[in-house]
Amino acid sequence: MSNHAHVNVLILIWYRVLIAKNRLVKSPMDYIKIASAGLVTVGAATVYYFLQSPETPELAVDLNDQTQNTDGVRMSRMCTDNKLISIYDDNIATVYDAFQNGLKESGDKPCLGYKPSPDKPYTWITYREVSQRVAHLGSGLVQLGLEPQNKTCVGVYSQNRPEYIIIDQAIIRHSMTGVPLYDTLGVDACNFIINQAELTTIFCDNNDKVSSLLDRRKQFPCLKTIIIIDQMNEKNRNKAAEEGVRLLQLEDVENLGKENPVAPTPPKPNDLYMICYTSGTTGTPKGAMLSHRNIIAVFAAAQEFLKNCGSKIYQDDVLISYLPLAHSYERVIEALILAVGARIGFFQGDIKKLMDDLKELQPTLFPTVPRLLNRFYDKVLTGVNSSKVKKFLFNMALKSKTKDLKRGIIRNDTIWDKFIFRSVQQALGGRVRIITTGSAPISSTVLSFLRCIVGCPILEGYGQTENAAVSTLTVLGDPEPGHVGPPLPCNMVKLCDVPEMNYFARDNKGEICIKGPNVFLGYLKDEEKTREALDEEDWLHTGDIGAWTPNGTLKVIDRKKNIFKLSQGEYIAPEKIENIFAQSPYVAQVYVHGDSLQAFLVGIIVPDAETLPNLCTKLGVSGSPKELAQSPAVKDAILKDLIELGKQQGLSSLEMVKDIYLHPDLFSVENGLLTPTFKTKRQDVQKFFAKEIESMYDRATENIRS
């Protein structure tokens, strides 16, 4: 038996005895015997581990100098002759071309996978089958009267599923433009989009969405046709007839096209691919017009980026699709998957069952967001902390893997992976080789921790809908967290002065501005907003504040406007919420706080001195203003009133505060919490109440977990 095998057997026996069973301990002496055996075993494992430790890999770029800098404009080191990447290859210039290439490469191989029911395995549709359905559906749309031209907009109101891809490809097969709709937009925003984009036809995945649209039919007279993916019910059939809307079954439209085929009219690179509406935090949403060229530029740059890092996307890769296809991030990723002929497996539609889907699908590519990674991190720690022995072994393994990480080595074949981290890796299916995260920042602690225990690169990116989702990405092998990497080779990045916030480009700080073939065409029917976003030289002004690190990577440090993201990637406008909460009779002043590393809001409330006594009388509470502010009964009553008020005013669950702190003294110019024009000095308030804010997050997080 080899030394390798001996070590494996020793660790396996000790691990089973100590962790899986843990029943042999009868006395203190037993602890000593087992601990001694454990130390010998761990010592042997450690010696073997370091004897087998690989050399530091050669990386794609010098980690100490990751960008080209020309007069403050930064480019990727992967750009050849200072030229940005704009196409994948000569044959792929549109999203339509991308699928055609995948069809050529993979033909009768699996393309789209789904679970027919929770108790059945994944079922796969081949590339050829998808292509046939796309041709039939596209022809059917033309037969229904939709003009095969770029100005024809078609709505898609559906969760991720194979039909979404088929619909999307059918739309662009005839140069039409897709317009995604999604539930978190809210009713008013959804109505606005349908009217602004003049949607005459909308695809819906289920009867609930169809019913919702029919109930509001009079608010968007342009709508003529709804095509449902699921089997329509009789109620909606009758309601559609009453409202004068043509309600059709998806398969019937496909059959119509099958019987009446229409030749494709493929789009051109500068044609619109989709109008992606941002979930506007104030006012109406904005329709970002993204061209085929925008999407192709990002995925071509991403593939080149990954190839240079020795880990490009291959034909045998499997992607799990659960992030909304209504957003550009997922669209770019899936366009790349289809271009190389790889597989896309869709989750069941229930995020609570995502871990089950991961185990069964065994994806190699896992795009995600910080909120989910944070939950995974918490779950792992809970399991580790359930036993002192587990915690001891886990921390030892983590320490060893961290040393590798600092050398740029990320792997999953160490002795620690085999016996300590295997269950964690199996929870993600056991085959994940690349994880990407974006839409909001992720804690440095969580990122480094997961890179070690998952044993694969976790790449953090930065971007917006307006630049087709991604503009920077961390380099594989870069061990340092806390930044979002250098620019992708499809765009340049520069920082512009923001003097009112004391940020200056000369200090390597300022507003992040992006320029390249991935930058959008503007906002639909909104020249004013377009001019605010795009300057005369076509630089996109993101509104985010960035800072260049000494090694040329970008950090996002602030927001130009008082708008921020929560950890799940949703934008929040605190002043909108504050204006609503200020309507409470018990509130004199309010400050709503959010953190991009947290999934919820908290608030600082200054109670109204005139109405507070009556509330306290009802509650049977008395005392000084300071004592009343510390009363749990008073706090609970005011919080309840704020939540009821928020619901009445249409605030979403993400816009509700989970906890509040009552402060007895008014914000004022004198105490430095208000400007001379009586506006809240947000940064100063945040610093003033830093301890209270931290305490609320800790308390609210504990309540959520319990």
Torsion of CA 87, 91, 97, 99, to 10 degrees: -100
Of 454, 448, 494, nearest in space to 471 by CA:
494
| Spatial contact of 465 and 328, defined as CB atoms under 8 Å apart | yes
- Backbone φ and ψ for 685, nearest 5 degrees, come out as -65, -40
Tell me which amino acid residue 672 is: G
Residue 183: pLDDT band (50, 70, 90) is: confident
Residue count of the chain, please give it: 706
Pairing of strands 587-594, 571-572: unpaired
pTM for this one?
Answer: 0.81
pLDDT greater than 80 at residue 371: no
- Which residues make Cβ contacts (< 8 Å) with residue 181, sequence separation at least 6? 155, 156, 157, 190, 193, 194, 202, 326
Average pLDDT over residues 182-200: 89
Residue 3: pLDDT band (50, 70, 90) is: very low
SS3 378: helix
Residue 502: pLDDT band (50, 70, 90) is: confident
DSSP character string of 201-266: EEEESSHHHHHHHHHTGGG-TT--EEEESSPPPHHHHHHHHHHT-EEEEHHHHHHHHHHS-----P
DSSP character string of 13-54: HHHIIIIII-----SHHHHHHHHHHHHHHHHHHHHHHHHHPP
C-beta neighbour count of 536 within 10 angstroms: 6
Label each residue of 542-605 as H, E or C.
Answer: EEEEEEECCCCCEEEEEECCCCEECCCCCEECHHHHHHHHCCCCCEEEEEEEECCCCCCEEEEE
Average pLDDT over residues 196-211: 98
The lowest-confidence range among 122-131, 158-167, 454-463, 608-617 is 608-617
pLDDT greater than 70 at residue 6: no
Residue 193: pLDDT band (50, 70, 90) is: very high
Residue 283: pLDDT band (50, 70, 90) is: low
pLDDT greater than 80 at residue 54: no
Average pLDDT over residues 498-514: 92
pLDDT recorded at residue 314:
96
Of 414, 470, 402, 460, nearest in space to 435 by CA:
460
pLDDT greater than 80 at residue 561: no
| Spatial contact of 279 and 571, defined as CB atoms under 8 Å apart | yes
pLDDT greater than 50 at residue 4: no
pLDDT greater than 90 at residue 181: yes
Residue 26: pLDDT band (50, 70, 90) is: very low
pLDDT recorded at residue 75:
97
Give the residue, 390 or 259, on which the prediction is more confident: 259
**What is the tens place of the pLDDT at every residue in 399-447?**
999 999 988 888 899 999 999 999 999 999 999 999 999 877 788 888 9
Residue 408 is classified by DSSP as T
The lowest-confidence range among 237-246, 537-546, 605-614 is 605-614
Residue 75 is classified by DSSP as E
**What is the tens place of the pLDDT at every residue in 516-560?**
999 999 999 999 999 999 999 999 999 999 999 999 999 998 878
Torsion of CA 565, 189, 520, 323, to 10 degrees: 60
Task: State the sign of the Cα–Cα–Cα–Cα dihedral 658, 663, 666, 667.
Answer: negative
**What is the tens place of the pLDDT at every residue in 636-667?**
999 999 999 999 988 888 899 999 999 999 99
